[in-house]
Structure 1
Amino acid sequence: MSRRPRPHQPMRPAWLCRNCAAPWPCSPAQLHLATEFYGHSIALAFYLAANLQDAVDDLYALGVRPDPRALHARFLGWLTLTRRPHRSELR
């Protein structure tokens, strides 16, 4: 019987990956999120921004002063929100 791979989910309050212990969202989590939210990049950005805020709150509660630039790069910096072409541009 084959085992299902463990998902790359955040472990709070440290915000490390439960599977690989890398800072979340790790590369496998990014790939999964990009696939799950395919075609809905704005929803993905909102989801990650909400997680970013939760991470800031959790880290402050732990007594850690998080680096805002590093957290922004980690949670949102990997996104490429491309402009979708207008229908008239497709003709």
Structure 2
Amino acid sequence: MTRRPRPHQPMRPAWLCRNCAAPWPCSPAQLHLATEFYGHSIALAFYLAANMQDALDDLYSLGVRPDLRAHHARFLGWLSLTRRPRRADLR
């Protein structure tokens, strides 16, 4: 019997991956999100920005003062790697 791989989902309020315990979105989660939102980079950016806000709210509610630059890099900094080239860029 083949076991299905566990998804890389966030565990709140710490925002660590439920599967690998890395800060979410971990590399496998980023790959999954880039695949799921392929061609819809703006929707992905909104989704991640909403998750970043939830993570910040969770951390503030725990009494933690999060590093905003680090959270921006963690949630949104990798997005430029997922953008498809425009047709004008291919020429």
Question: What is the TM-score normalised by the length of structure 2?
Answer: 0.90
Percent of matched pairs sharing the same residue: 85
2:79 is the counterpart of 1:84: no
Q: Paired residue for 1:33?
A: 33
Task: Kindly state the Cα deviation for residue 83 of structure 1 after the two structures are TM-superposed.
Answer: 6.3
Q: Is the 8 A contact 2:45 2:79 kept in 1?
A: yes
In the alignment, what sits opposite 1:11? 11
Structure 1: 5+ residue runs without aligned partners?
Answer: none
Higher helix share: 2
Amino acid at match of 1:79: L
Q: Runs of 4 or more off by more than 6 Å in structure 1?
A: none
**Alpha-carbon offset, residue 73 of structure 1:** 0.1
State the distance in 1 between where 2:73 and 2:18 align.
20
* Equivalent residues, number: 89
**Do the aligned partners of 2:10 and 2:18 also contact (CA within 8 Å) in 1?**
yes
Partner of 2:64: 64
CA deviations 1:33-71 (Å, max 9, x no partner) are 000000000000000000000000000011110000000
Shift of 1:84: 3.1
**CA offset at residue 90 of structure 1?**
7.8
Consecutive unaligned residues of structure 2, counting only runs of 5 or more, are none
2:42 paired residue number:
42
Relative to the length of structure 1, the TM-score reads 0.90
Question: Whose Rg is larger?
Answer: 1
Q: State the AA in 2 paired with 1:56.
A: L
